[in-house]
């Protein structure tokens, strides 16, 4: 394989000065990540040096800040004060840079910062002093968890398990927030936390929209795993709202006067269920898992679930 890769790609350098680097063993470094396969059947992904760079950049921007936090975001994460003073230009640039750096780590090794970063990335074009306080909270959390690793493993069941939830009307424009993640046994290799793109009229509708937000990833993951030669026995979507589950399973058949306004495009999931591409199940833990990706959790609750 190494010989084939060399023959295929080394010749793209016209001066032939770049030989392909070969990494062997159980520990590899790639794009700021350390991939540790020392323990059989699992991979530990860390970005210790990169997190230290983020904290170093923050300390230069705000050297007076000290201490740690046990959660990645304050309870007022989604609240926006339109009368709050905007950051001066150099401070706004520092805010943008630190958020962008943290986003890179979030997507690769620190999914626990997903909800906080999902909001802060929407504020980089006009951050205010409140946004800086929220960033300070996140940096204090990173400081206290700088050696936290993402550990992934599969249980071999062939079942893809998704936990998806949505928070109703939590943004200033009364839009909801979708969050969820995929697990194959231990850890979440895929997570998402995003503001919904339309206003909904009930928590049930918010849940249906949240499930639809993740359907491209849910379907793609199944096709990807099958393309790698793995047998996918089931693709389960766990939710904690039974009304939303009934609507997703039955489509308009479970739609009442209160919900008949929901656009048919949000019943794409019904079609996938009928074709046995996805199954939906109620999960009593769904509320806690969903909160982790949709709401700012505090203290012991956040730490308990993160661990």
What percent of the chain lies above the pLDDT cut of 70? 83
Is residue 157 within 8 Å of 66, Cβ to Cβ?
Answer: no
Among the ranges 125-129, 211-215, 245-249, 282-286, which has the highest mean pLDDT value? 125-129
**Unique residue bearing structure tokens 């000290």:** 66
pLDDT confidence band for 54 (50 / 70 / 90): very high
What's the pLDDT tens digit per position in 213-231?
898 899 999 999 999 999 9
Domains of the chain: 46-144 (no CATH), 156-302 (3.30.420.10)
pLDDT confidence band for 1 (50 / 70 / 90): confident
pLDDT confidence band for 28 (50 / 70 / 90): very high
pLDDT attached to residue 274: 75
Rounded mean pLDDT, 186-194: 90
**Unique residue bearing structure tokens 């937000």:** 213
Looking at every residue in the chain, the average pLDDT score rounds to: 85
pLDDT attached to residue 255: 56
CA separation, residue 45 to residues 55, 175, 188, 235 (Å): 19, 34, 12, 25
pLDDT attached to residue 260: 55
pLDDT attached to residue 26: 95
Containing 44, the helix (H) or strand (E) segment is: strand 42-46
pLDDT greater at residue 13 or residue 211: 211
Picking from 113-122, 129-138, 252-261, which range would have the lowest pLDDT averaged per residue? 252-261
Is residue 286 within 8 Å of 165, Cβ to Cβ?
Answer: yes
pLDDT confidence band for 6 (50 / 70 / 90): confident
C-alpha dihedral over 201, 213, 189, 8, to 10 degrees? -160
Rounded mean pLDDT, 84-95: 94
pLDDT attached to residue 2: 85
pLDDT attached to residue 284: 65
What's the pLDDT tens digit per position in 264-280?
556 667 777 777 777 77
Task: Write the DSSP assignment of 83-105 as a string of letters.
Answer: TSPBPPHHHHHHHHHHHHHHHHH
Side-chain half-sphere exposure of 128, counting CA atoms within 13 A: 9
Does the pLDDT of residue 29 top 70, yes or no? yes
């Amino acid at each position: 394989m190494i010989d084939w890769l060399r023959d295929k790609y080394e010749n793209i350098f016209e001066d032939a000065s770049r030989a392909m680097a070969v990494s062997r063993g159980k520990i590899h470094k790639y794009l700021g990540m350390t991939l540790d396969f020392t323990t059989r059947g699992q991979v530990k992904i860390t970005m210790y040096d990169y997190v230290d760079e983020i904290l170093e950049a923050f300390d230069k921007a705000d050297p007076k800040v000290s201490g740690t936090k046990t959660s990645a975001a304050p309870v007022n994460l989604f609240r926006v004060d339109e009368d709050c003073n905007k950051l001066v230009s150099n401070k706004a640039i520092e805010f943008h840079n630190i958020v962008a750096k943290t986003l890179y780590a979030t997507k690769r090794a620190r999914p626990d910062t997903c909800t906080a970063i999902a909001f802060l990335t929407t504020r980089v074009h006009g951050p205010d002093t409140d946004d800086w306080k929220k960033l300070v909270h996140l940096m204090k959390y990173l400081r206290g968890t700088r050696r936290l690793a993402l550990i992934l493993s599969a249980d071999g069941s062939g079942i893809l398990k998704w936990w998806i939830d949505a928070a109703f009307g939590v943004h200033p424009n009364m839009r909801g927030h979708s969050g969820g993640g995929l697990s194959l046994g231990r850890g979440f290799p895929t997570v998402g936390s995003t503001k919904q793109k339309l206003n909904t009229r009930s928590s049930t509708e918010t849940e249906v929209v949240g499930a639809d937000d993740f359907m491209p990833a849910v379907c793609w993951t199944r096709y990807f795993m099958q393309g790698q030669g793995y047998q996918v026995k089931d693709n389960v979507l766990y939710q904690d709202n039974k009304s939303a589950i009934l609507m997703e399973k039955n489509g308009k058949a479970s739609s009442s006067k209160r919900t008949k306004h929901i656009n048919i495009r949000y019943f794409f999931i019904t079609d996938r269920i009928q074709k046995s591409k996805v199954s939906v199940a109620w999960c009593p833990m769904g509320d806690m898992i969903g909160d982790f990706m949709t709401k700012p959790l505090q203290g012991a609750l956040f730490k308990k679930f993160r661990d």
